Chain A
C-alpha cells in the first residue's frame, strides 16, 4: 500500500497549497474563495488524519521520504505522538481560522495574513511529522519565518520592534539548534548510526554513547537551550510578552499550538525518540531539565501576577504553563510522562480559549487592561463564561482538563520520588489562582465603573460578532470534555498512555 505513504506529505500540503493560493488572492473581491480554501484545507486535513489513524491501527509504517541530499532525506512519518500533535493543531487551526475571519474583518492585508497563517500550520504539521533532525529543523525554522509577518501584522513601530525581538531570540535559538544537530550528525556518521527518531531513542547501546559521552551530554543541553527559546524557559522567555503586539488570533495560535508548542514538542522528541528516556536518565540529563522547568513554572507565574495588560498576563501564564509539559517529560516514569503529554493538548485548548476571550474583550468593548474589566461579565456573559472555564482549567479545578494534567504530574512526581515537585505544583496552582481569580471576580461581581472605551454592536442578539463568539465556546466545551471524558475508551488518556508505554517498554 504505497498511497498510504503519501499521507504525511498530503497532511502538510493540505494547508501549504491553500496558503500559497491565498497569497495571490485579491483583498476584498476574493473573500469567499479565501474562506472556502481555508475550510477546505482544514476538512481535507481531517480526512487525511482519519485515513492515517485507520492505517496506524493495522500497524503499517506510514512515512514520506524525499531525498534532499545524498544521505540526507526529508522524512515525514506518522506515529502516535505525531498524530496527537497533528490532531491538536488541525482542530485548533480550524477554530482559530474562523476566529481570525471575524477578528480581521475589513482590516488590510488579509490575504497576506491568511497566507502566512496557513503556512504556519503547515510548518507545525511538518514539525509534528518530522522523522529526523533535518526535517524537524527545516520546519522549525520555517515556522519562525512564517510567524514573523504575523507578529508584525499591524505594521506599527511597536509591532516591528516586537517582531525584531522575536527574531533575535528565535534565530539565535535556531543557530544553536543547527550547531547541535550537525555536531550530532557528524559524531553519529563516524559510528555508523542513523539519527531517525524512533521509540525509546536511537542512542541506547550505541558506540557513540561510549566514545563521546561528554559531547553527547553537551549536545543535549544545546538542544534544550535552543528549543528552550521557543518553549520560553526563564530566562530566555523575553520574546514572548513582546510578541504580544500581534493580533489576537496570532497570539492564540502562537501560544496554543504553533511556536511555544513546537519548542515543547521538540523537547519531547529529543528526550523520548532521539536520546531515549533511559539514556537521558543514565546520563543524568533529566534532573537539570526538571529544575529549569520548575523555575520557569514559578517565575512565570510570579511575573504574571504583576501584569495589568491582559495579553501580557496571559503571556507570562504561558511561560509558566508550557513548562508543565517539560516537567512531565523530565520526571522519569510513565505517570509523569502521561501528565506531560496530556498537558501538551490541554494547555493548548485552555490557552486558546483565554486568548479568544481576551481578543473579544478588546475587539468588542476596547478593554485591554484587567483593571478596566469591572462588570464585563454583564456585557459579555458568554465570552466571560468561556474565559472562566479556561481560567479554572489553568488553575486546575476539577472537572476541567487542567485538573487531569496536574493530577498526573503530581502522581508522577510521587511515583519517581521527586516529592518536592508536588510543592512546586501546589505553589504554582496558588499563583495561578492568584492571577486568574481577580479577573473572574472583576468580570462577574464588580459593578461597571465607567463607559466602555468603545462599544461595537453586531447584528442579531449576539454580544459580539458570531465568528468571535463561537470559537471560544467550542474550545471551552473541549476544556470540559477533556476533563470529564479523559478516561473514556477512545479518550486522550488512553492514547497518551499508549505512547508512553512504547517509550518505557
Chain B
C-alpha cells in the first residue's frame, strides 16, 4: 500500500488542507501546524516523486472510488509531478522565511493578525495549487483555480494599507473575471461534447466554431490570470505591494498555476486548433511581454516594482514556444522541456529575488534603489542571493535559465522562428541591465551611514540563497526533467487523432 503511489495522491492535497484548517482553528498554534504541515507535505511530494520515477507510468486515483466521467479523478504524470516538486521546494523556503518575516516584534494586534492569518492562507493556497496540478478534468480545474485565486488575493491583502488594498481589489476583479471566462469556455465545451475530461475531449474535439469560441474564452481567462501582456496591468502593484513571502509565492507559483492549465488544455483538448492563429498570437504577446516588461523594469526606481516587472517580462518567455509545442506534440519533447525548465528556473530565481528584496527592505526599511547603497558588508548572503538569482534571470550560464533558453532557441531556430532568437537574446540583455542596476547599488561602498541596519534572523537569510543556488543547479537537470516529462507524454500521444 505504501509503495503504491495512488495511496499518496490524496495526501498531497489533504495534508496542507488539514494543516490549514488546524492553523485556522487554533491560531495560537498556527505556526506549529504550518511547520508540521510544510514538512509532511514536502515529504509526501518527495516520496511520490521517487515512486513515480520508479514506476515510470501515470498514476491515477479516483476519489471515493468514483471514476471519470462522474467522479473526481486525480492524475499524476511527469509534468504535474515536476510542478508539485517545484511548489514543495519553494514551499519549504517560504515557511522558513515567513516565520522570521511575520513573527511579531511587539504586541500590536496588527502584526499578530498578519502572523495568524498568513499560515492558514498559505497552507490553503498550497493545497489549492497541489489540487490544481493533480486535476484531470476541466471543472475540477475551475474549482482549484478559484480557490487559488481567493487565497492569493487574501494573502495580498494581509498588509492593511490603502495602496495594497487597492491593488488586491484590482487583483480580485481580474482573477474573478478570468475564472468566469474560463468557466464560460468550459460550459461551451460541455455543451458541445458532453464531457469535461481533458483526455476524452482531446479524442473527440474537432476544429469547429464552438471549439474556437470555447478556446478563445478559456485562453483569455487564463491569460488574464497569468498576466500575459497586455493583461499584466494588475500584476506589478499586487506583487510589489504584498508582503515579501507573498510576493514570492505570487510571482513564483500562483501565475504558473493558470499557465499550467493553459498548457494542459492546449496540449490536449484544444489541440485541433493548433494551426489557427491563436497559438501564434500567444507567442506574439509573449514577445511583447518580454520587451514591455523589461523596458518597464529598467526604469523602475523601487526594488520590488523592478522585480515585479521582471516577472511580467519573464512570463512572456513561457508563451514563445506554444505554436511549436503544439505543432511537434508528442514526438518532440524539447519545446515542452524548454518551457518547463524555464518555468522552474524562473520560479526559483524569482522567489529568491523577492525574498532577498524582502530582506533588504526589512533591514533598511525602504524600497528605493538608492537606499541600497553599500549594503554589501552588512548583508553579504542576501547580496549573493540576489546576484545568483539574477544570473539565472538574465539566463547567463551556468543556470537553469540558460539551459532553458538554449533549448528554446535551438527549437525556435530549427523551425525557422529566427525572430524569437532576437527577442530571447535581447530580453536577456535587458534583464542584465535591470539586474545590474540593483547590483551596482549593492556593490557600492557606502560612506559612513547604514549603522541602523536591522540584523536578519538565519531563517530569513538562508532561504533566498538556497533557492538561488537551486536555480543555478537546474543547469544539471536538463536530462532528468526531460525523462520525467516523458512519463505521461504518451498521454499526449494516445489521444492524438
Which A residues fall within an 8 A CB radius of B?
23, 66-70, 72, 108-109, 112, 134, 137-139, 141-142, 144-145, 149, 152, 154-157, 160, 163-164, 167, 171-172, 174-175, 178-179, 182-183, 185-186, 189-190
Contact = CB atoms under 8 A, between A and B. Distances in A.
B413 A141 contact: no
Interface size class of B (residues with CB under 8 A): 35 or more
B166 to A, nearest CB: 36
Contacts of A182: 406, 409-410, 413, 421
A68 B478 contact: yes
Nearest to A186: B413
B414 A179 contact: no
23 contacts: A23-B384, A67-B478, A69-B337, A69-B403, A69-B406, A69-B482, A70-B333, A70-B334, A70-B478, A72-B478, A109-B376, A112-B380, A144-B396, A152-B443, A154-B445, A155-B444, A156-B444, A157-B444, A164-B440, A172-B429, A174-B396, A179-B421, A182-B421
Given A69-B482, A163-B440, A155 B445 contact: yes
B476 interface: yes
A72 B406 contact: yes
Residue among A23, A112, A134 having the largest count of chain B Cβ atoms under 10 Å: A112
Contacts of B396: 141-142, 144-145, 171, 174
Nearest to A66: B476
B2 interface: no
Contacts of B334: 70
Given A23-B384, A70-B478, A144-B396, 8 more contacts: A69-B337, A69-B407, A108-B377, A154-B445, A156-B444, A179-B421, A182-B406, A182-B409
Shortest Cβ-Cβ A-B pairs, 8 listed: A155-B445, A69-B478, A138-B397, A186-B413, A160-B440, A175-B425, A182-B409, A141-B397
Contact of B425 (A66, A167, A178): A178
Interface string B452-481: 000000000000000000000001101100
Interface in B334-378: 334, 337, 374, 376-377
Contacts of B384: 23
Contacts of A186: 410, 413-414
Nearest to A139: B397
- Which secondary structure dominates chain A's binding surface? helix
B94 interface: no
A31 B222 CA distance: 56
B444 A68 contact: no
B398 interface: yes
Contacts of A108: 377
A141 B398 CA distance: 8
A137 B440 CA distance: 25
Interface in B373-396: 374, 376-377, 380, 384, 391, 396
A320 B377 CA distance: 38
A156 B445 contact: yes
Contacts of B44: none
Contact of A183 (B406, B413, B478): B413
A72 B411 CA distance: 13
Contacts of B391: 145
B436 interface: yes
B154 interface: no
B428 interface: yes
Contacts, number: 88
Contact of A70 (B376, B436, B482): B482
Contacts of A112: 380
B479 A67 contact: yes
B483 to A, nearest CB: 9
B410 A70 contact: no
A448 B414 CA distance: 68
A240 to B, nearest CB: 19
Nearest to A69: B478
A183 to B, nearest CB: 7
B429 A171 contact: yes
A160 B444 contact: yes
Contact of B398 (A142, A149, A179): A142
A70 B479 contact: yes
Contacts of A152: 440, 443
A160 B407 contact: no
A137 B409 contact: no
Residue among A108, A142, A145, A163 having the largest count of chain B Cβ atoms under 10 Å: A145
Nearest to B404: A69
A487 B252 CA distance: 61
Contacts of A154: 445
Contacts of B398: 138, 142
A179 B429 CA distance: 13
Contacts of A175: 425-426, 428-429
A154 B374 CA distance: 12
Contacts of B492: none
A183 B412 CA distance: 10
B391 to A, nearest CB: 6
Contacts of A155: 374, 376, 443-445
Contact of B432 (A68, A138, A167): A167
A186 B391 CA distance: 25
B119 to A, nearest CB: 32
Interface in B481-497: 482
Nearest to B333: A70
A234 B407 CA distance: 34
A180 to B, nearest CB: 11
A138 B395 CA distance: 11
Contacts of B478: 67-70, 72
Interface string B435-447: 0100010011100
A140 to B, nearest CB: 8
Nearest to B380: A112
